[in-house]
Amino acid sequence: MQKTTNSYGRIYDVVKHIPEGKVMTYGQVARIANVATPRVVGFALHVNPDEQHIPCHRVVFADGSLTQGYAFGGEGVQKERLLKEGVVFTQKGKVDLENSLCRTLSNS
């Protein structure tokens, strides 16, 4: 596993491994995927070659806010999707990182 495909392959693998009801920040994914900067993560998800198998909606900002600028299928759909998965949101419209942030994958 974790074959050294490209940095992208690692990103997709990590994102696909995000458990339901949990979310990860771009920086977190970048760190676990051994990617240089979170920008590459965002870029990788942007190309999104397997959107049906890559839950990019489970990837959020470090603040817990959702993707600004572009949605994978509509505006606000991401939030609806996360809510349906069991992710908790705050009154501020952000993800409750205290409860939904996946840190179990933190690879030392």
Partner DNA sequence: CTCTTGACCATGT
Partner DNA sequence: AACATGGCCAAGA
Instruction: Return the residue matching tokens 């509509």.
Output: 74
Sequence-distant (6+) residues with CB within 8 A of 97 are 23, 25, 64
For DNA, which residue of 2, 17, 34, 39 counts as binding (CB under 7 A)? Answer: 39
Contact between 25 and DNA per CB under 7 A: yes
User: Could you say whether residue 13 binds DNA (CB under 7 A)?
Assistant: no
Figure out which of the listed residues 56, 82, 101, 102 binds DNA, where binding follows CB under 7 A: 56
64 contributes a contact to DNA by CB under 7 A: no
In angstroms, what CA-CA distances link 42 with 31, 49, 91, 107?
13, 13, 26, 20
If the CB atoms of residues 43 and 89 are measured against DNA, the closer one turns out to be: 43
Q: Is 102 a catalytic residue?
A: no
Q: Of 106, 45, 56, which Cα lies nearest the Cα of 85? A: 56
| 72 binds DNA per the rule CB under 7 A | yes
Identify which of residues 42 and 88 has a Cβ nearer to DNA in the complex.
42
**Among residues 9, 13, 21, 67, which is the contact residue for DNA, using CB under 7 A?**
67
Cα atoms in the Cβ-side hemisphere of radius 13 Å centred on 99: 11
